[in-house]
Structure 1
Amino acid sequence: MKYALLALLASAAPALAHPVTVQSCNREVTFDAPPARAISNDVNLTEMMLVLGLRDRMVGYTGISGWKTLDEEMRAGVAELPELSAKYPTKEVLAGAEPDFFFAGWNYGMKVGGEVTPETLEPLGIKTYELTESCIHIGPKARSSMDDMYNDILNLGTIFGVSAKAEELVAGWKARLAEVTAGVDRSKPLRVFVYDSGEETPFTAGAYAMPTAMIEAAGGINIMDDLEKSWATVAWEPVVERNPEVIVIVNYGDVTAEQKIAFLEANPAFANIDAVKNDRYVVLEYVEATPGPRNIRAVEKLVAGFWGN
């Protein structure tokens, strides 16, 4: 009887820690109990849920197949979950699944002034946690750093009562990051441009996007780190003027990384860019370039591409 009682108490331990309060962008959100019917939007946010072992607390996910970002690794992870919407979900789609939690971000499933926001979902009994990187869309925040991703994992750990798992993951990632970047020479950082998409004008990462932090961790500098945005469209002229030594290609969607590289190499306007002249490209998958568990793997790729390690 005593052992049965102890087992029961142990299984209830996560719930006993509640209520908990976490900071989500400019809001404090309190959870009286761990969510039991969660929905995540986008591949990177969904992977955060999966790596914390929360698949059994989820009723589905949104916003993955519409952007063609699902790889074999993720396909196995979400095999038992329904995709409720191929792109951004409507309020009706979310309400129909009867969730109690939505993990999304600004321009990661929610739009400023749109129909799906923390305020519009609250009356439906759906609490929202916002991706830290995306908070710049609704107010000031610090520049991008690896802590943005760590913060989300730790907050999810608190929300779902799996803080020990979250802390273990973050400690492991920090140790691996230190190991990967230990030999990086930071005295003369490489000039790096992030090419996400677009031919007339490129869509790229600014000061508040995760690639800027990963590039800096790998010993480079994002040539657009003075762009006071996360992801945004710029003109090609400043890219040519700032002459990147390496171009990071984000691979997803209908246009492949190979096609993006071919476009850069076929355009005479880019012929004098060092990265193009020297054929120096690093390809990151979408799930590596956005905040999530694969960011450390992405830094490893960058270190290898920058320094030949």
Structure 2
Amino acid sequence: MRLPLAALILAAAAPALADPVTVKSCNREVTFDAPPLAAISNDVNLTEMMLALGLTDRMVGYTGVSGWKTLDETLRAGVAELPELSAKYPSKEVLIGAGADFYFAGWNYGMKAGGEVTPETLAPFGIAVYELTESCIHIMPKARTSMEDMYADILNLGRIFGVEEKAEALVAGWQRELADYLAGLTPLAAPPRVFVYDPGEDAPFTAGRYAMPTALIEAAGGVNITDDLEKSWAEIGWEPVIERNPEVVVIVNYGDVTADQKIAFMKGNPAFAGIDAVKNDRFVVLEYVEATPGPRNIAAVRKLAAGFRAE
């Protein structure tokens, strides 16, 4: 496969791997003899993982951000020199046409099981794929999601791209930051009951035990009322939400319906008047990039922990 001119120029400058590196990617083991030189990431959170590791000079672009209206100023500044190759999920032709040698994506984060773009369909074109750990539940059994899933992705990317020390320093720093912050907070009398509200008025779309918000809520000291839902994200009825009576509602903010509109819907619907979170006006807003696996999960846990303690 021919690489773009920029990738060929970078070849001399990119740090070589001392030995081939093998990482676990969902149910596969992927081996790299050298760091990728023409990477593409899908979605805002995965792209920010690449930015956190300083890998923009190894990228030829990114996909799947503007189409979901998740681009903000922080990401815009970080990817200023890179093209968005596809507003939503890329086609195989987009990735091949960009001369990619690496695709960082996930299941329902740029790939769909049985779809056109998968590790198997890209392999013949010399495009290696690393899959977002949280997303593996869509193709295999896995343990419930935790902060360790996000940390594992950073560490694996560090190994793949030959920046392992930077990855280890980032993870250790995030772990210290969270531990120090949480240790300084007033202990909670009991874990607050929390409901995650993404979109949907007739039926809400929410986070189950395999979605990142469940891990964020637990790290902040709460419990997701749908953590018994054996899915990542799923649509449910409003009845169990009312029955389980959340004390806090976490709003995921992105797309055409704003967080304020979602809050207004819940506060204005008589069916929800008895819910503690609605009665006490206890809503915490997480941006999409905070609620999905990535570097901004640290700020998300801090925001949630503070919200759980707010009067």
Task: State whether structure 2 residue 149 is matched by structure 1 residue 148.
Answer: yes
Structure 2 contact 196–252 (Cα < 8 Å) conserved: yes
Q: Distance in 2 between matches of 1:267 and 1:187?
A: 30
Amino acid aligned to 2:236: V
Unaligned runs of 5+ residues in structure 2 are: 1-11
Shift of 1:17: 2.0
Q: Distance in 2 between matches of 1:186 and 1:125?
A: 51
Q: Distance in 2 between matches of 1:226 and 1:184?
A: 28
Q: Distance in 2 between matches of 1:63 and 1:184?
A: 40
Distance 1:239 1:75, change over 3 A: same
Task: Report SS of the residue matched to 2:304.
Answer: helix
Q: Distance in 2 between matches of 1:109 and 1:186?
A: 38
Task: Report SS of the residue matched to 2:106.
Answer: strand
Distance 1:46 1:92, change over 3 A: same
Shift of 1:187: 5.3
| 1:8 alignment partner in structure 2 | none
Amino acid aligned to 2:304: L
175-184 or 40-49, larger mean C-alpha shift = 175-184
Structure 2 contact 188–309 (Cα < 8 Å) conserved: no
* 1:59-70 paired onto structure 2 within 5 Å: 59-70=60-71
Distance 1:104 1:20, change over 3 A: same
Amino acid aligned to 2:292: T
- CA RMSD between the two structures: 1.3
TM-score, length-scaled by structure 1 = 0.94
Distance 1:305 1:252, change over 3 A: same
Structure 1 contact 65–87 (Cα < 8 Å) conserved: yes
Unaligned runs of 5+ residues in structure 1 are: 1-10
Q: Which one of 221, 240, 243 corresponds to residue 238 of structure 1?
A: 240
Q: Distance in 2 between matches of 1:65 and 1:147?
A: 28
| 2:176 alignment partner in structure 1 | 175
Structure 2 contact 17–35 (Cα < 8 Å) conserved: no
105-114 or 182-191, larger mean C-alpha shift = 182-191
Task: State whether structure 2 residue 214 is matched by structure 1 residue 223.
Answer: no
Structure 2 contact 17–33 (Cα < 8 Å) conserved: no
TM-score, length-scaled by structure 2 = 0.94
Task: Report SS of the residue matched to 1:140.
Answer: coil
Q: Distance in 2 between matches of 1:257 and 1:16?
A: 45
| 1:251 alignment partner in structure 2 | 253
Q: Distance in 2 between matches of 1:62 and 1:187?
A: 44
Amino acid aligned to 2:131: E
* 1:2-41 paired onto structure 2 within 5 Å: 14-41=15-42
Distance 1:37 1:107, change over 3 A: same
Amino acid aligned to 2:159: T
The sequence identity of aligned pairs, in percent, is 78
Amino acid aligned to 1:263: F
Task: Report SS of the residue matched to 1:22.
Answer: strand
| 1:7 alignment partner in structure 2 | none
Distance 1:15 1:107, change over 3 A: same
Aligned residue pairs: how many?
299
Task: Report SS of the residue matched to 1:279.
Answer: coil
Amino acid aligned to 1:111: K
